[in-house]
Amino acid sequence: MVRHRTTGQGSLGHNHAGKYYSYEQAAMTAGPVQGRIPLIVAANAPRALDVVAAQTDGWTTFPGTAPEDEFRAASVKRIERLERSGRPLRRILLAYSAITPWSSVDGFRAMVADYAAIGFDEIGCHAPKPEERAVFDQVVPTLADYRD
């Protein structure tokens, strides 16, 4: 039933007669707003990036153990490779590890500007640690300023 609903095949009301259960005119609402769930894949290697560019709705990455300057430089090259496909792809940065979104209000602002400038569309940040909570509380009222 989930596969039936998320692929957009058929209408509301679906019948199934199976070994363990059966149903008639079952409805599952609501489905994904965009008709199907977007597929976002993490990739860094060239071949994997090519698969992402050709087959998915978006790309996500994070610095892992790389220093931020190395990660940023590598991200520029990865985004250039993805853009060669000519397909629109969401580009999502997971900001943790070497990227510290809650280090300061100015640091948060700079992180958003810097990664947007190289082509990221979205940034996912971890919940603040107790020692980062004060910065988080200062950033929260300004989040609307970062939206289109």
* CA-to-CA dists, residue 108 to 27, 38, 74, 99, 100, angstroms: 44, 27, 21, 10, 8
CATH of 38-146, one of 3.40.390, 3.30.379, 3.30.1480, 3.40.50: 3.40.50
Q: Is the pLDDT of residue 120 over 90?
A: yes
How far apart CA 98 and CA 121 sit, in angstroms, is 19
**Average of pLDDT values for 73-88?**
96
pLDDT of residue 32: 63
Mean pLDDT for the chain overall: 87
Task: Give the rounded percent of residues in the chain with a pLDDT score beyond 70.
Answer: 85
Question: What pTM was computed for the model?
Answer: 0.74
The predicted structure's pLDDT at residue 1: 46
CA dist 76 and 40 (Å) reads 19
Would you kindly state where each structural domain of the chain is located, as residue ranges? 1-35, 38-146
